[in-house]
Amino acid sequence: MAHAGTLTRIDGGKGMRGDGLDRFLRVRQEAARLVPTGDEESYAPPYPARLYGGFSFAAGRVKTRTWEAFPTARFILPEVELYGEEGGGRLVVQALHGGADDPPVQESALTERLEELVQELAETRSPTPGSDPAGAETVRRQIASPSVDGREPWEETVRKVLEEIDRGRVSKVVLARHLDVPARSGMDPLSVLMRLHRTDNRAHVFLFEPETREALVGAAPETVATLIGRRFHATAVAGSAPEGQSPEESREMAERLLVSEKDLREHALTVQEMVRSLEPILDELAAEEHPHVLHLPGIQHLETRLAGRAPADSHVLRLLAALHPTPAVCGLPRAEALSLIGEEEPFDRGWYAGPVGWFDLEGNGVFAPALRSGVRAGDRWRLFAGAGVVAGSRPELEWEETGMKFEPVLRALAPGGDR
């Protein structure tokens, strides 16, 4: 059953449990059914309708309580959209048109609804987080001194993966861990999202709320696939270093990152695999010759931009199917890395590291991996962070890296976290 504000939705389920390619194509096929067919003249909107949502990291995984509200895939066609454009924004109100509907009457109702929303927006203020001193103090302590619960077994898992790398089974595996934080009263997911955006407006922030008190929110450093018209671009992000205590120290760490053999190897694996996956399905593709440093609050990454030109009949979900999961969220070879993740991670990733974003009925779209994220399930937030393990990785440093990656959402959950 669709919620208020949702015109229709596409859900993943048993019919979409198969290989990754299958579920991406099935969502595309379901979306195509929204377009009128036949010889009769139909109304064509001035812009294609967008569907918003995402996919779980892996198809067919058993769902836990944390991810109970999140199916394998879910996309919604909303009644209302508000999105930014150069020099302003666009507010859209839409409805599904049925054969028995009277178009002039429907258009009049939409116009009235649009005018109501414009007035509501003019009177709306940003949400103000509530107060919960006990929960706030817990979050403060976790920022100042990240939890060491599970550190020893997690580092032992890293050592196991390093042994598999030495044996030649894999060249890289991304291992994740989670951190639980009590949900403070008044700290709703929209407030968390806004704090993440204010902290770093370069990040790709996202919020998906399939049920009340159940939400996924985060701020990814990269996009996995963007297709607008025939123009494709993406970013490969892999290899990390902390920010320094001063601009000078940050520059020194960035310079060391640019010559780090371990980080350059990890980054090159990601870029090479993305290029290998895309070349057969794009007309043109180019990647930057050398990575540059992406500076984010508390952490720095190696980043390489990819750009290309897609065939006329391309769809962003086709490109996404070829790319996901990239080595930046999974590893290489893909099948072996997925197998190791399933064997060694003692939790279900759910939508963590899965692609989230939007696509329209002409095949355009933007997707980012659900990284630097947290999922609210009832009275707690569960945060996720991962690190790429390659030859030369040190378990204690990978633990520290995941700790840095928890911080954006931890700070957004804390009082004053946006200041």
Q: What is the CATH number of the domain that holds 169?
A: 3.60.120.10
Domain assignment of residue 1, yes or no: no
Domain assignment of residue 187, yes or no: yes
Domain assignment of residue 339, yes or no: yes
Domain assignment of residue 418, yes or no: no
Residues 201 and 95 in one domain: no
Element (H, E) at 65: none
pLDDT at 71 over 80: yes
What is the CA 239 to chain-centroid distance, rounded? 18
Element (H, E) at 383: strand 380-390
pLDDT in tens, 190-203: 999 999 998 888 88
Domain assignment of residue 38, yes or no: yes
Is 124 exposed, middle or buried, given 0-12, 13-18 or 19+ CB atoms closer than 10 A? exposed
390 vs 361: CA distance, rounded Å: 40
pLDDT value of position 258: 96
Nearest 5°: phi and psi at 256?
A: -70, -35
pLDDT in tens, 21-69: 588 999 999 998 886 654 445 556 667 889 999 999 998 755 688 998 9
Q: Tell me how many domains the chain contains.
A: 2
DSSP category for residue 147: -
Residues 166 and 98 in one domain: no
Residues 165 and 21 in one domain: no
Nearest 5°: phi and psi at 367?
A: -130, 140
Q: First vs last Cα of the chain: how many Å apart?
A: 40
Residues 274 and 405 in one domain: yes
Average pLDDT, stretch 186-192? 84
Strands 355-360 and 365-369, bridge-based pairing: antiparallel
Domain assignment of residue 239, yes or no: yes
Residue count (the chain): 419
Catalytically active residues, by annotation: 172, 222
Residues 109 and 143 in one domain: no
Residues 196 and 65 in one domain: no
CA distances from 60 to 27, 142, 250 (A): 15, 33, 42
- Residue ending a domain, among 67, 90, 123, is 123
Sign of torsion over alpha carbons 362, 368, 369, 372: negative
- Residue ending a domain, among 123, 151, 174, is 123
Residue range of the domain that includes 69: 6-123
Residues 84 and 191 in one domain: no
Domain assignment of residue 328, yes or no: yes
Identify whether the C-beta of residue 31 lies closer than 8 Å to the C-beta of residue 12. no
Per-residue pLDDT band at 101 (split at 50, 70, 90): low
pLDDT at 145 over 50: no
Strands 73-78 and 80-85, bridge-based pairing: unpaired
Residues 278 and 317 in one domain: yes
Average pLDDT, stretch 271-297? 95
pLDDT in tens, 319-360: 999 999 999 999 999 999 999 999 999 899 999 999 999 999
pLDDT in tens, 232-258: 999 999 999 998 889 999 999 999 999
Residues 169 and 223 in one domain: yes
107-121: burial string, b at 16+ Cβ within 10 Å, e else: eeeeeeeeeebeeee
pLDDT in tens, 364-416: 999 999 999 999 988 889 999 999 999 999 999 999 999 999 999 999 988 65
Tell which wins on pLDDT, 5 or 384.
Answer: 384
- Residue ending a domain, among 98, 123, 148, is 123
Q: Which of 416, 412, 418 minimizes the C-alpha distance to 188? A: 412
Domain assignment of residue 134, yes or no: no
Identify whether the C-beta of residue 143 lies closer than 8 Å to the C-beta of residue 411. yes
pLDDT value of position 128: 55
DSSP category for residue 102: -
* CA count, 13 A, side-chain hemisphere, 249: 8
Residues 108 and 201 in one domain: no
Residues 147 and 247 in one domain: yes
Q: Which of 240, 235, 237, 234 minimizes the C-alpha distance to 258? A: 240
pLDDT value of position 355: 97
Average pLDDT, stretch 115-141? 62
pLDDT value of position 17: 41
Residues 288 and 164 in one domain: yes
Q: Which of 59, 52, 53, 49 minimizes the C-alpha distance to 15? A: 59
pLDDT in tens, 215-226: 999 999 999 999
